Structures are given as structure tokens and as C-alpha cells.
Amino acid sequence: MSAFLTYLLNGLAVGCAIALIAGGLVVIHRVTGVVNFAQGTFAVVAGLCVSSLLGLGLPHGVSEVAAVLVAALAGLLTGLAAVGRRGTTPLSSLIVTLGVGVLAYAVEIVLWGDQPRSAPGLAGAVTLAGARIQTQHLLVIGVTAAVFALLALFFGRTYLGKALTACASNPYAARVVGIDTRLMGLLAFALGGLLGGIAGVLVTPLRPISFDTDVTLIVNAFAAAVFGALTRPVVTLAGALLLGVAETMAAGYGYGSHQLEVALGLMIVVMIVQAGRRPAISQEQT
Amino acid sequence: MIGVRDLVVSYGTATALDHVTLTVEAGEMVALLGPNGAGKSTLANTLAGLLTPASGTVEIGGRLALIPEGRQLFPDMSVADNLALGGWRSGERDPSYAYDLLPRLAELSRRRAGVLSGGEQQMVAFGRALMSRPAVLVVDELSLGLAPNVTADLAGHLAGLNRERGLTVLLIEQNARLAFDLCRRAYVLESGRVVTEGECAELAGDPRVAGAYLGGAIT
């Protein structure tokens, strides 16, 4: 029983990290209509940055915040490339984000090499109802909860958040009322970079990060985001937690090499169910 | 006011507006008639700054708001949120400004815009445009797809704002009867050119205009 609880809590932490990256996908898609395949890259950049900054002797806190800001900057630059030119279609932008992801490999290898890097996080573990959970895992869960609460407030209650949503809902109408959709798109990409960065900083102490870790991250995050139809943050969070728990359980009970297949399988099932439920493609076009 | 002089707007090699010249004086309400594809919406979007002219000049006296063709609301948002976003330019974020002008909107405030009837949606689009506190309002197809009584209600509000608040209005319409009822002057646009202009009373008597836009009833 305690093993089950341990897997469950660890799974929730894994799911939270996925949720943060998926949250970035959702924010960017909601505002620009673009599926950002460079989303995993932001986490990798932040993870590699934090390992370097801590290695240079910078204190915790400063290093993490700086790494997250670098990821936000990476998000902004990706946005400039993907949606910076007015009139770029979401599909063209998607291809650009793929290109940015590949370019990022080269940059990361030049700067950090191709070996996985790690970073120290919160040490120690606590015992909850007989289940041992690493303190870093608890930190991941706490930070994710706070971030999603803030996101919900931002998009649901603030004027800027509503303006961002308006850009995705009806880009033409947004321009009619005077909203600069290009600027809002860039803001969304920066926010996506920020969320990816937070995930990267939180995950690096738990599992070493290398330049190509983004593939695993983006596959999982994409599965969760598809669960939320790429527009609904709360459903995405639920999907990510489900995915994290399912993968951790699979690993815990001896199917460790099939973690990614669990994500892919779940994504396919969700896509089939959603395709039957509503016209997802036409919905995106409006 | 609106002052358009020798305006040319192209989509690639296709010319949508070909040396259009048009004036709406401050406080005036002028109609723009024309069939589908004449370039009416192109003119509306150019006036709103959403399209860049190839040549010619556009002069707008004060802030311009556009009620676009097909309402173009934010369907998943509440009416109140739609209205609040209308105030993006003016900083007017309290929808009660629109409720004062169009009281019916207050009853709809919490409804999702996408589920409203066509007439209600047009009312929201109207209110959203007013939230920017415009000096000039461009209405692209007020009556399209609406029942006559709904159109009459909206037209009444429009005429009231023009009369009582001095709102300058360019009314783009396919419904010439409505346009002639509301406006003193009109322009007729065909294939991107102004083919005729003048007092509505005279235009209604012009056999070509009457034949094309009034079903020949007046001649």
C-alpha cells in the first residue's frame, strides 16, 4: 500500500512538471492558434542554465529565477521567429517552431555539450502516511499548484488575460477593437517560455537534462494539452496528472521501459475520442 | 468626419478599391450602397486601419469604431467581457457605459455571446463599438440576416446616437430602403469605384439605382 502511495505522489510530481510544459503549449495555442513544438526546448534551456549557474557558485533562488527568465527570453525569440511577421499562418508558424527546436539543439550542444547535466535541488525526503516522498517532489507539486492558480486568475479575471484570449477566439475581431494581436502573440510565447522554464528548473534536480530531453517532455506535454483540447488549462492539468501517475505506476510495477508508450497511447485514445465528439479542426480555424 | 481621397486598395494584383473619393462631414450620417464584391467591406477595413492603402489618403476626425460585417464577437466570452474589450482603445472598461446607451444589453450581460440570436449579437457588436467612445462609426451591414423589426430597433438607436450625440456614421448597406430612410446622402460603389453619389431622395428616383437596389419599385 505504501509503495502505491509513493508511486502516486511521485506520479503527481511528474505530472505537475508535464502540466507546466503543457500549460505553456495551451497558453501559446490559445492566443496564437500555433502549436509550439519548441515548448520542450524552453525547459531544457532553463535546466541547462540552472546547472551552469549553480556550478558557477550562484546561490539558489537567484540561479533558478535567472534560468526561468532566460527561458522566457527564449520563448520571446521563438515567438518573434514564429509569429513576428504579420500574416504568418498557424501552420507555417508550427513549422518554424520545429525549426527553432532543431536550431536550439545546435546552440545547446555548443554551449553545454551533449552530456546530461543535473543540478542540486531540495535535499531530503518526508514520510507521508507511510509513503516516502522527496522534498523536491513536494516543491514541484506546490509550485505547479500556485502557477496554475495564478494562470486561472490571469486569464479569467484580468483585462490583459481576456485580451489575450480574445486574440485566439477571433483574431480579426481583436484587431477591430484595437488589440495588437502580434504583440499579444509575442507575450504568449514569452509566457510559454516562462512556464517551460519553471518546469525545467524544477525537473533538473530530479532527472538529468540533456539537449534532446525536449522530445520526451514535449510528447508528454502534448498528450496532456490535447486532453485539454489545447485550450483548457484546468483539463490539461488533470490530463498531465493522470499521465504522470500512469507512467510512474507503469515504471513502479516493472514496465519502466514503456513510459513513453503510455503517453503516446493515451494521446491517441484522447484524440480519437475528441475527434468523434466535436469537429476539432473546424473549431481551430474559426 | 471621414475624408477619403483617391483611395486605392489591392489584394495582390486584384484592385479592390479604385480611386475612391468620399466624404462624411462631422455629425452626418451617410450611406454606402453596393452589391456583393463591390469593395464595401474593404473600404470599412481600410477606414478601421486594418488594411493598408496602395495609394490615396484617409483622414478620420477622431476615434473610429467599426461594427464589422457578420458581428465578429468573441463567442466564448460573456456579453460583458465582449463589451469591456470594446473599450481597449478608450480605456472604458465598465460595460455599464454601453448599458446606458443600449439598455437591452444589461439583460444579456452574463450570457455567452456565441449563443445569442443574430439581432442580440448585432446589438452586442453595436455596444462593443460604442465602448471605444467613437467620434465616427462605420457600420458594415447592419441589417444583414436580421428580421425587419430587429433591424428597425437597431436603426432607431443608430439614428438617435447620430441626432443626439452628433455621432458621425457611415452606414454600409445592401438594403437601400433602410439606408435611404436613415441617411440624407449616399454613395454607390460598384466594382471598386464610386459610380454615383448624391441626395438619397434623388438617388431613389434614379432609374439605375432604383432598378438595382430597390427592385425597380420606385420607377
Please report the pLDDT score of residue A274 as a whole number. 74
- Structural domain includes residue B87: yes
Set of cell numbers at residue B38: 463591390
pLDDT given for residue A278 in this prediction: 59
Q: What is the pLDDT of residues A73-94, one digit of tens each?
A: 999 999 999 999 888 888 999 9
Residues B96 and B112 in one domain: yes
Q: How far apart are the first and last CA of chain A?
A: 49
Write out chain B residues lying below 8 Å of A177, CB-based.
85-86, 88-89, 128, 132
Smallest Cα–Cα separation from A148: which of A195, A186, A206, A203? A195
pLDDT at A285: 39
ipTM over 0.90 threshold: yes
Residues of chain A where predicted confidence (pLDDT) is lower than 50: 280-286
Nearest to B77 among A169, A172, A178 (CB): A169
Amino acid, single-letter form, for residue A251: A
Interface test with A, best of B46, B74, B140 (most A CBs within 10 A): B74
Total count of domains within chain B: 2
Contact B85 A163 (CB under 8 A): yes
Asked if residue B26 and residue B112 are part of one domain, the reply reads no
Residue type, A43: A
Helix/strand/coil for B197: strand
Which residues on chain A are in Cβ contact (under 8 Å) with B73?
A: 170, 173
Claim to verify: residue B43 and residue B143 sit in the same structural domain: yes
What SS3 state is found at A123? coil
Taking an 8 Å cut-off on Cβ atoms, the answer to whether A166 and B74 are in contact is yes
Structural domain harbouring B202: 1-62+135-219
What domain range includes position A59?
Answer: 2-285
Q: Are residues B57 and B156 in the same domain?
A: yes
Does residue A127 sit in helix, strand or coil?
strand
Over residues B53-95, the pLDDT tens digits come to: 999 999 999 999 999 999 999 999 999 999 999 999 999 999 9
Does B142 share its domain with B107? no
Dist CA B18 CA B10 (whole Å): 9
Query: Is A169 in contact with B75 (Cβ distance < 8 A)?
Result: yes
> Is B190 found in the same domain as B170?
yes
Q: Residues of chain B whose pLDDT is less than 70?
A: 215-219
Of B87, B108, B133, the domain-final residue: B133
Residues of chain B found within 8 Å of residue A173, distances taken between Cβ atoms: 68, 72-74
Quick check: is B126 in a domain?
yes
Q: Are residues B203 and B109 in the same domain?
A: no
